[in-house]
């Protein structure tokens, strides 16, 4: 059976003016860093850091989904809308309207991230 090579995982992503370091942590590294045991990803704007729990059993598709999830957090934090979501009548529409152009910027500014998220493109 041929060995599958792991795709190149991005280590940085720029979200507007902040360049985040992306850390792909093993299970042991995750717990050593005292990160939330129930989470599979964490985004910290003030530390410009995205951590992903990438243990040996995690599928790349699951990791791609988790990275996308964390990028959405980074966009929300960049636009400072997290506290506003509870105060608007149509939170979903408000969120999508604010985040769509920011996320598009993230995709345009980070070709290595797009290559990872969309293999074969």
Cβ atoms of 35 and 51 closer than 8 Å: yes
d(CA 44, CA 119): 26
CA distance 116 to 121: 10
| Region of residue 88 (left: phi > 0; alpha: psi -120 to 50; beta: else) | beta
* Residue 20: Cβ-neighbour burial (10 angstroms; 0-12, 13-18, 19+): buried
Q: Per residue in 5-24, pLDDT tens? A: 778 999 999 999 999 999 99
Q: What is the pLDDT of residues 61-84, one digit of tens each?
A: 999 999 999 999 899 888 887 677
Three-state DSSP class for residue 114: helix
Q: Supply the pTM of this predicted model.
A: 0.85
């Amino acid at each position: 059976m041929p060995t599958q090579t792991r795709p190149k995982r991005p280590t940085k992503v720029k979200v507007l003016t902040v360049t985040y370091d992306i850390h792909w942590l093993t299970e042991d590294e995750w717990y050593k860093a005292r990160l939330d045991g129930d989470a599979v990803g964490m985004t910290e704007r003030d530390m410009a850091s995205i951590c992903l729990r990438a243990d040996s059993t995690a599928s790349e598709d699951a990791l791609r989904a988790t990275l996308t999830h964390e990028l959405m957090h980074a966009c929300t934090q960049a636009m400072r809308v997290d506290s506003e979501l509870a105060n608007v009548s149509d939170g979903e529409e408000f969120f999508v309207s604010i985040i769509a152009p920011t996320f598009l910027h993230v995709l345009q500014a980070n070709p290595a991230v797009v290559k990872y998220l969309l293999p074969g493109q």
